[in-house]
Amino acid sequence: DIVMTQSPASLAVSLGERATINCRSSRTILLTSTNKNFLAWYQQKPGQPPKLLMYWATTRMSGVPDRFSGSGSGTHFTLTISSLQAADVATYYCQQYFAAPYSFGRGTNVEIK
Amino acid sequence: QVHLQESGPGLVRPSETLSLTCTVSGGSISPYYWSWIRQSPGKGLEWIGYMYYSGSTERNPSLQGRVTMAVDTSKNLFSLKLISVTAADTAIYYCARHGDYGDSNDLWGPGTLVTVSS
């Protein structure tokens, strides 16, 4: 099984500052024939289900603000919020969908400093 | 606009069977894949399995064969059964759709809390 490790577990950032969340997979989730990384990022606010933010590691879902960006390939990935807004306070999860059983990271709780 | 809604008992006795249904409204259950995912404080988000509208399934081996999933295209719903439950199965259970983005989940139900307790 592929294990997803996220860091940090929690993060406090001032409004307008950058937030960076890391995610590492225990083996590659890059399909070389298509050059696609099978990684998604989700945002979850209290009392709500997760919301898909990014797929294929770097593609934003429609309607997601462009302050959110994804990067990385292979086994190391990053979600960056370029200028943190109050609406971004949430827990963020990475998920690999390269191989079943699909697996999630343990989450990163983002707060305002 | 497509919506998902989980339904089922909120309380299940230990050793009994957890049964949930996910109703899809505002759109068709085909030709998508559909997942069950659960979330507990101790284990975070855990993928239970997915199924195709035609009925083929993939399940998480960690659940040791306790999972059965089924689809009813005539009623536009799919279901989950988890047998021999224990307190460790207490969680919020979500149904979710696989969109056109690989097997990432672009649409989720609100979730339903299932507590396993006598």
pLDDT in tens, B29-71: 988 999 999 999 877 899 999 999 888 899 999 997 899 999 9
Closest by Cα among A77, A55, A81, A78 to A68:
A81
* All residues at 6 or more sequence positions from A64 whose CB lies less than 8 Å from its CB, including other chains: A53, A54
Mean pLDDT (10-residue bins), chain A, 113 residues: 97 98 98 96 97 97 96 98 98 97 97 97
Out of A42, A56, A104, whose CB is closest to B101? A56
The mean pLDDT value of chain A amounts to 97
Q: According to the model, what pLDDT value does residue B85 have?
A: 97
Q: According to the model, what pLDDT value does residue B53 have?
A: 85
Q: Cβ contact (<8 Å) for B104 and A40?
A: yes
Would the pLDDT of B116 be above 90? yes
Task: Determine if the peptide bond prior to A50 is cis (ω within 30°).
Answer: no
Give bridge partners of residue A103 from the DSSP assignment: A96
Q: Residue A98: phi, psi to the nearest 5?
A: -80, -40
Mutate to test the interface with A, among B46, B105, B106 (most CBs of A within 10 A): B105
Q: Which residues of B touch A104 (CB under 8 A)?
A: 44-47
Mean pLDDT confidence for B20-36: 95
Q: Scanning every residue of chain A, which has its alpha carbon at the shortest distance from the alpha carbon of B63?
A: A101
Pairing assessment for the beta strands B67-72 and B77-82 based on DSSP bridges: antiparallel
Q: Cβ contact (<8 Å) for B103 and A101?
A: no
Query: What gap in Å lies between CA A20 and CA B73, rounded to an integer?
Result: 42
Q: What are B's interface residues with A at a Cβ cutoff of 8 A?
A: 35, 44-47, 50, 58, 60-62, 94, 96, 99, 101-106, 108-111
pLDDT in tens, B62-100: 997 899 999 999 999 999 999 999 999 999 999 999 988
Cβ contacts of A47-51, under 8 Å, gap ≥ 24: A48/B110, A49/B94, A49/B96, A49/B108, A49/B109, A49/B110, A49/B111, A50/A93, A50/B45, A50/B94, A50/B105, A50/B108, A51/B108
Closest by Cα among B85, B83, B86 to B69:
B83
Q: Cβ contact (<8 Å) for B45 and A104?
A: yes
Contact A106, B41 (CB under 8 A): no
Out of A49, A61, A97, whose CB is closest to B103? A97
Q: Cβ contact (<8 Å) for B104 and A55?
A: yes
Contact A68, A52 (CB under 8 A): no
Q: According to the model, what pLDDT value does residue B74 have?
A: 93
The mean pLDDT value of chain B amounts to 94
Residue with tokens 């225990």: A26
Instruction: Please indicate whether residue B102 or residue A99 has the higher confidence score (pLDDT).
Output: A99
